[in-house]
Chain A
Amino acid sequence: MSKTLLDKVWNAHAVCELPSGQTQLFIGLHLVHEVTSPQAFAMLRELGLKVKYPEQTFATIDHIVPTQSQQRPFADGLAEEMTQSLTDSCEEFGVTFYDLRSGQQGIVHVIGPEKGLTQPGMTIACGDSHTSTHGAFGTIAFGIGTSQIRDVLATQCLAISKPKTRKIEISGSLSEGVFAKDIILAIIHHLGVKGGIGYAYEYCGSAIEYLNMEERLTICNMSIEGGARCGYINPDETTIDYLRNREMSPKGDAFDRAAKYWKSVASDDTASFDDVFKLNGKDIEPMVTWGINPGQSVPVNQKIPSPSSAPEGEQNSYQEALDFMSFKGGESIKGTPINVAFIGSCTNGRISDLREAAKVVQGSKVANNIKALVVPGSMAVAAQAKKEGLDQIFSEAGFEWRQAGCSMCLAMNPDKLKGREICASSSNRNFKGRQGSPTGRTLLMSPSMVAAAAIAGEVVDIRSI
């Protein structure tokens, strides 16, 4: 009987069937950050329980860290309290903590892969919806809430039902100026933000296989924006090459044995799926969101849709989005003036993202009155970028070069939009108020498109410059 990767990984981690009919699923890697875990550690203390597998539990701080000065104590007393709380919990329960002093801090979904913690065939959980990111390595990775963090800390298990599987095949190859971000925005545009409910997404096809690991992380990162419980890509030679010589990867003979195992968890050629969706890579164009969820996007050269063209039942949502954005159906998204440009986040804050964006800004200047930020996803990304001189390129162009953190993706730190500002953003969510101003506006796009918008002062087509 042929199996999908989901089948294989699920079976290997299924502890038992619970009376409820859900599976008790063993979690191989538990990642923890400062926002969603303090209450879970408190619950553990109340129950008098220990962390069951502290050696499989790793913590960092990312959401609340300031990106200008990371000197402790932080100016924000609440951020300081959360940081201290996580520091104390990690010490008390024996959890490895990549804090600011370690030199290894970063966004949790950036450091997991870069350290080699994330490996094919694992189950992964983290109290963060973008945990789906780790599926790029052929893992089954779930975002969970605080009560479930308590469950994983205490038992290394989750009570969870197995999702259905939708195969998303992107054939052909991408055109110049089209990136992984555009693939995932196009997928969500077609399938909608609720199309993935009940599913795990398997991304495959030649346009996916051709991507490097960092681009694959961008794709899987936004699975949750399409409503999917998780998303994954089958491990291949690209995956294995990436993991070779990573700090936490197996070494020597064990690596060879691991590589064999990793390849074996890929979906069988004849595996069957509950649903299949296909797109040709050559039909994907640079995408920009015009609305208040990541499915409300258009290719950069197309017009913003009017509510009358919305799918059945979505007319009100379209109107609400247009009203919030102060856009009109039929207008061009290209040429929309911006106030802020943000390059960073767990979606697009990796070294390859910064390299692509740096190519666009090199020798140019940020347009007048535009605030432009580059925020590396981790201390390691920042160090590599400096080694390559990317920080200089950005600084000379007029970008602010910041320190690692989630920054303006979600505004739990000082980096926030003001008033009605419009931000060209390489992040993952354009929800109302997401970037810190309740009335602020977000246009999601690839890092190269953000860089181009910063230079032009408005949304432009990366292919035309």
Chain B
Amino acid sequence: MSELMIEATDVSKKFGDVHALDGVSVTAKRGSVLGLLGHNGAGKTTLINILTTMLPPSGGSAKIAGFDVVRQGHEVRSRIGLTGQFAAVDEQLSGHDNLVLIARLLGASRNQAHQRADDLLEQFDLTEAAKRNAKTYSGGMRRRLDLAASLVGRPEVLFLDEPTTGLDPASRLAMWEIVEKLAADGTTVLLTTQYLDEADRLADTITVLSKGKVVASGTSAELKAQVGQRTVTVTLDSASDVDIAMKAVNAVGLHPVVEGLTLTTPVSASRDLATVVRALDDNGLEAHEIGLKEPTLDDVYLTLAAN
């Protein structure tokens, strides 16, 4: 089961003079989750549009489940599901009818279509709203209906374009669990995100895009080692406390930088946070504020740019 389900080779896309994508290559094995990380305008959506046959590439080639996205579009489309940034549901139809419509278009019989719609509505906690017009749905419900719509055909490859942007924390967590379950069941997932923690949690491999180019790729651990580190920040009450704290933290082998009343030190493991706290405590210092900061996408970019 190590066949490549997503295979993009040197894909480019030009819009006039603008290189939206410039020689991008990515791969994903069956059942894996590929995270595409990048800011707005990095080219994430353009790559998804090419891989889902919505846009022809200007150069390079791409295969989904072994089928060429340009020459075998129909084969590709019958094996993929797509959830874009904006919910693609028919607002004038009920949630149930939306899903039946997709199932019928995919070739399900009337009975199969209703069955599949009911199953998905239940799975996505939409049974109670099933008969209501999608127009009346909340943002989170619309997203769930949209995702359900992309799963009607049990796609082998699922594309999720920023699936959690704009969702509240609970809905976000629910979305993460759904993606994890799909991957566990053998669905190959490509998801784009602007959040490192999301890619970190869900993706087996992460590709970082910037201005249409791949600037880094690897597993989450590889990327972090290459990129950013966590930092501990300690804010103290007085300049004299800062001096003592500097000596104490230096003494335990960490090398903080001072800015005003705040010490910032890169750490490699979360137990280093405990080390810092203990060093302060041993010297009778009480921190005004103390925190552990995860590397952000900005850190990734800054580091990559610096290299």
Q: Do A and B come from one complex?
A: no
Q: Which residues of B contact A (CB under 8 A)?
A: none
Q: Which residues of A contact B (CB under 8 A)?
A: none
